[in-house]
Structure 1
Amino acid sequence: MKSLPTYKDEKTGLWYCKFVYTDWTGQRKQKKKKGFRLQKEAKQYEMDFLSKTSHSCDMRFCDLVEIYMDDCKARLKPTTYRGKEDVLAKHIIPYFKNFKVNEIQPMTVRRWQTELINSPKKYKPTYLRTLNSQLSAVFNFAVKYYGLNSNPVQKSGSIGKKKSGLEQYWTTDEFKMFSEAVSDKLQSTVIFNLLYWSEMRSGELLALTLNDFDFEERTVSITKNYARVDGEDLFLEPKTPKSNRKVTLPQFVCDMVKDYADKLYGYNPSDRLFEITKHFLIKEMERGCKKAGLHRIRIHDLRHSHASLLIELGFAPLLISERLGHESVTTTLEIYSHLYPTKHGEVAERLQAFA
């Protein structure tokens, strides 16, 4: 690849570069980029562009991330892509930005990990694990497609924890106290009872229409997930294939939903039943907890609350897994294993009766 010199536009006083490169199909093309204030900026752009198109890891880390994110954009849900983009921009690119990819060593990664661990922001162990995994994913991409010899994150070791430990949850009595605290708003009452008694995720609930309910069978079909990205309402595929499911509901919850829908003026059964955002749910959760004097849990912890109730009632892990929309019963057992020791005690007591 032949690099051409940079030029100065005498009319504007700005610099530009013009050079030849070989694209991914093997064709030679010319590239021209204008508008650089300094000559070194024009030269740096040319160097970065050529390194990215050469499929070599002799490029800056920030350029690799740009290629990696372009690849991810076509493969990830918008919400997943945005989350990855935020993590990289806040915690990873600022540290590794100008390192050449093939010069980043395991000790370089270790120093970054140490900064995160010692940060005054006191990141949660699960978040540290996420940050480390995102960095590792970028290097795995370089290993697979750009000939990087090895992933330095794998050699540096992991940080944080995959799981936070014991999940937060409410007892049924605590949930009833919360439900009473938000009962001054019919919408909030219906929403939180649906979340608690169905175990659906908040994005699944926000995508519901009245057509998703079968009140004779007392079921709700979960087939989509709602998200709002850059001011746009998106209806996405559920989190996993198993998340497409039909969940049975208690009769009183069905009655709540019917009563709520009947009071919506001019409502079309194919429209969203709850035209609110996740921000509304969080604010209502805060309001209800404060009013009821309850310890605060996350919206997602309502799933854990109902799962713990089903375990206490003796339902099989496989049934709970299917109701939650987990990909496998193993996932369910990993999350709720701490709730099962009491069940082992019950087994011993029942066996004793036959002795």
Structure 2
Amino acid sequence: MSIHKDNATGKWRVVYRYTDWTGETHQSSKRGFPTKREAQIWERELLLKKEAKLDMTFESFYEIYVEDMQNRIRDNTWGTKTNIARTKILPYFGKRKIGEIEPRDIIAWQNELLAIRQPNGKPYSASYLQKIHSQLSAIFNHAVNFYHLPSNPAQKAGNMGKEEHREMLFWTKEEYLKFADAMMDKPVSYYAFEILYWC
């Protein structure tokens, strides 16, 4: 790995080698760093990612998480996860070292989310808060299960929301018979509802 200055643009670039999953070695570069220091910081993060050392930033580990998980999750689900990470998680934890994030940091983050009010003046729903927390916990679980993070601080901190369970409504037998009577002139629908209700 080496750092060079491009005389034409005055910007710095990092030239590095990597081995793909087939064992083949490739050379690549990352260009456009305004200072040598920024190029060195990027180079250091790349080395940490290659070695899967948890001295890296949360943002760098999130890139590993994306590489590992993106093709295993349906596109629409992945879109939701990415949006939550980009808007609710990375702005807060992105620059922190993943191995140094503690449960108290998670609680402080949760308190900030709990204090947010939407344009209509209402807080986020309990189920949305749970979804945000679950995404953060999933990233930490990945670090625990595959990259030797000792524990999941989000799990230790506990959830900040809960799944909203709406009450299920059932028809009484009398209510269903009244409905079925009205449906008799539509045989296909009538028999479909008969099967659904009685089975």
TM-score scaled by length of structure 2:
0.77
Quick check: 1:9–1:16 contact (8 Å CA) kept in 2?
yes
1:47 to 44, 52, 56: 44
Over aligned residue pairs, what C-alpha RMSD do you find?
3.0
Report the AA paired with residue 105 of structure 2: T
Q: How far apart, in 1, do the equivalents of 2:94 and 2:51 lie?
A: 19
Q: How far apart, in 2, do the equivalents of 1:66 and 1:117 lie?
A: 27
Report the AA paired with residue 109 of structure 2: W
CA positional deviation for 1:43: 1.6
> What secondary structure is seen at the aligned counterpart in 1 of 2:29?
strand
Name 1:144's counterpart in structure 2: 145
Matches within 5 A, 1:319-338: 319=199
> What secondary structure is seen at the aligned counterpart in 1 of 2:39?
helix
C-alpha distance 23-99 of structure 1, shift in aligned 2 (>3 A): farther
Listed one character per residue, the Cα deviations across residues 15-74 of structure 1 (whole Å, up to 9, x for unaligned) are 111245666677776542222222222122212211111112111111111111222221
Unaligned runs of 5+ in 1: 169-216, 219-248, 255-305, 320-355
CA positional deviation for 1:101: 0.7
Name 2:29's counterpart in structure 1: 32
C-alpha distance 29-37 of structure 1, shift in aligned 2 (>3 A): same
Name 2:134's counterpart in structure 1: 133
Name 1:124's counterpart in structure 2: 125
Identity level (%): 36
Name 1:155's counterpart in structure 2: 156
TM-score scaled by length of structure 1:
0.45
2:83 to 69, 74, 86: 86
C-alpha distance 125-164 of structure 1, shift in aligned 2 (>3 A): farther
C-alpha distance 151-26 of structure 1, shift in aligned 2 (>3 A): farther
Q: How far apart, in 1, do the equivalents of 2:74 and 2:25 lie?
A: 34
More divergent stretch after superposition (87-96 vs 31-40) = 31-40
Report the AA paired with residue 79 of structure 2: R
Q: How far apart, in 2, do the equivalents of 1:145 and 1:25 lie?
A: 20
Quick check: 1:125–1:164 contact (8 Å CA) kept in 2?
no
Matches within 5 A, 1:1-355: 4=2, 6-20=3-17, 30-121=27-118, 122-166=123-167, 218=188, 249-250=189-190, 315=197, 319=199
Report the AA paired with residue 159 of structure 1: M
Q: How far apart, in 2, do the equivalents of 1:22 and 1:29 lie?
A: 6
Quick check: 1:72–1:81 contact (8 Å CA) kept in 2?
no
> What secondary structure is seen at the aligned counterpart in 2 of 1:74?
helix
C-alpha distance 118-167 of structure 1, shift in aligned 2 (>3 A): farther
Report the AA paired with residue 37 of structure 1: P
Report the AA paired with residue 130 of structure 1: K
What count of residue pairs does the alignment treat as equivalent? 178
Q: How far apart, in 2, do the equivalents of 1:119 and 1:164 lie?
A: 23
Q: How far apart, in 2, do the equivalents of 1:90 and 1:167 lie?
A: 33
C-alpha distance 56-78 of structure 1, shift in aligned 2 (>3 A): same
